[in-house]
Chains A and B, each alone.
Chain A
Amino acid sequence: MFSPRSRLATGTVVALTATLGLSACGNKDGEGTAAESCVDTSGDSIKLGFLNSTSGAMAISEQTVRDSLSLAAEEINADGGILGKEIEFVTEDGASDPAIFAEKIDKLLTGDCVAAVFGGWTSASRKAMLPVVEANNGLLFYPVQYEGLEASENIYYTGATTNQQIIPAMDFLASEGVESLFLAGSDYVFPRTANKIIKQYAAELGIEIVGEEYVPLDDDDWTTQVAKIVEADPDFVFNTINGSSNVGFIKAYYEQGLTAETNPIISVSIAEEEAPAMGKDVTGQYAAWNYFQSVESPTNATFIAAFQDKYGAERPTSDPMEAAYTSLYLYKALVEKAESFEVDDINESADGVTFDAPEGTVTIDGDNHHIAKTALIGQINSDNQFDVVWSSESPIEPDPFLEGYDWWDPSAE
């Protein structure tokens, strides 16, 4: 079989490939300049990209963000657009896969030449988009509460960072006289990081952590872990579980005789959408957010009316939806203050840009690109709405790296 001729032919193909491969030589000294922006601002419209997962495990949550982004775009267009230009939005599916998020944001920035991208939900999706948006000097608006410890020139974070949600929740627990706390979370980055902060702050506040349990994201059976909560009998349970796994947790919790009276739960990912999907009456349990549908303000009333008018009266509004809605309006305010769609111009004048959002007035911090938000603790009532039982009074300045908290030691366990 191995005739000299065939060897010669193989050799030729290999040599050919090698030559062709090497002909595309690299550039070792290059600094790697950011690609030229291809955003076209000459026409009557401005292109924006909406990048959310409409398939895969995260579609549950991200579809709601997509909905409120579309609503905000419609409203802004009806009101004359941004700097007189109509918003034209390009939608893409992130498919709940970080690598797809990286691919699609690249496509939006370099192929569709959008002026800004709105979306992402999991930290994984944001981390995946970060280098791409930085390399292209683009803009990303990220609308979800997250674990902090990040600030990029090219990202605006319109959800809460930890000092606007986790830490206020701990302040609330301390004010309630809580002495023991059990941590229950999904086994991934946000709960692990949040719990690291919680443990350090609890030590400072004199709250004892009596247990810590994690279950994989797609695992719904919490029975054995809840048994440990029963055994530890904590004053409160701090719940950082994500998505559908919450249902299994809540069911197991009630099944084993725990109640909101004996061992209440405070959650950071159960909102108006999730509460009725638990299949249990969760009245009396708590959640920490920066927005509830029950927030009483004219802006919020308008937002809820517009949302339910477009998507149906049975659809509740929730924190991430509000943060997404706000992000588009903040973008409009940023552009109009800078009088430019250029990223550098926008960043230049970003500090202090405000918007009268449904949650209250929010203000951009020009240094870390997060926004000042008021922290709220809500208690679930029998209509699956939240009654606000505690608030931080005034908006909390964002501090993603917790530099203003001397008990925080990032290198400690």
Chain B
Amino acid sequence: MKKKKCIAMLLAGGQGSRLGKLTTNIAKPAVSFGGKYRIIDFGLSNCVNSGIDTVGVLVQYKPLVLNRYVGTGESWDMAVSDGGVVILPPFAGETGGEWYLGTADAIYHNIDFIDMYDPEHVLILSGDHIYKMDYNIMLEEHIENNADLTVSVLEVPWEEASRFGIMSTDEEGRITKFSEKPKKPDSNLASMGIYIFKWKALRKALLDDHDNEKSSHDFGNDVIPKLLADKKKLFVYRFRGYWRDVGTVKSYYDSQMDLMDDMEHINVFTKDQKVFSNSNYYAPQFIGPKANVSDSLICNGCTVYGTVKHSILGSGAVIGDGTIVEDSIVLPNAIIGRNCKVKNAIVNEGVIMEDNLDVINEDGEVQVYGRAKLSI
């Protein structure tokens, strides 16, 4: 096995409980996004677009759809012989097994996986962020600084800084202080949950963390503060661009609408930094003789007889005659009957809405309708 410069570990085990019905039976990274994508597509596509062809995907919460979707990574051009995507669930050992207790614990349990590739650096990612990023630029800075850890940060408005993990730095960008959701922030550089570690440094930190009974085994709460206390070389990498953590139904809705309302900042049509997905056997969309579609993103496999305004229709969605869908997101394979009204709603995957049904959320508050029905 040839040695890898950098491999990625993508944390995809979280429940995303604030997404409510969207994650009843699907892990957050596998939740549909922008019609044909799933949230994890952005992280995986960033990897392949940055030349990283080896990714461990750490799963735990309801991984069925996620596992099936990611497969061998072929859809992201990562089915290569000396790398590829490997799904890494919690497992049992000689003395029994346990769930991943935290983000750092999840990586700790997969030290063997990383050692197989013997990489110089390890990129830690979250599977639930929407952004396009070339990790190579960050890696170059990381190498140039000879850093043990580089944390990607985003400048956020000062008034919002207390919602994030905030990095304070010196003039060279070396991290001097890290505070999780500080009441009185002294910096507005928010951690994006994207880390590049020297593997040697991370390996030791994980072993130390595992032995620390007081640790919650989390990168933000435990590993980074410990490295900082040990005077390791920690730097920030300033990312400038579109980045969203789709943690709530509102942010999930807003950032999907950004795909058409804010193309200047997040554009899935451009050929550079292309976002790949695994949803390719649908026929072209059929727009019916009396249909009226405007200001909307419509996917392959959709059939539209009614009216669709400022909405997103996921792959295979059907909109019946006389139905009006407005400011809404219809997830893949949902079927909306005739003469329905849907406004400010997210219609869950595979949901069947009978004729003459109204799902209207006024005052701009968006709600999720129905429980996802899983299908192949």
Instruction: Tell me whether A and B are bound partners.
Output: no
* A residues in contact (CB < 8 Å) with B: none
* B residues in contact (CB < 8 Å) with A: none
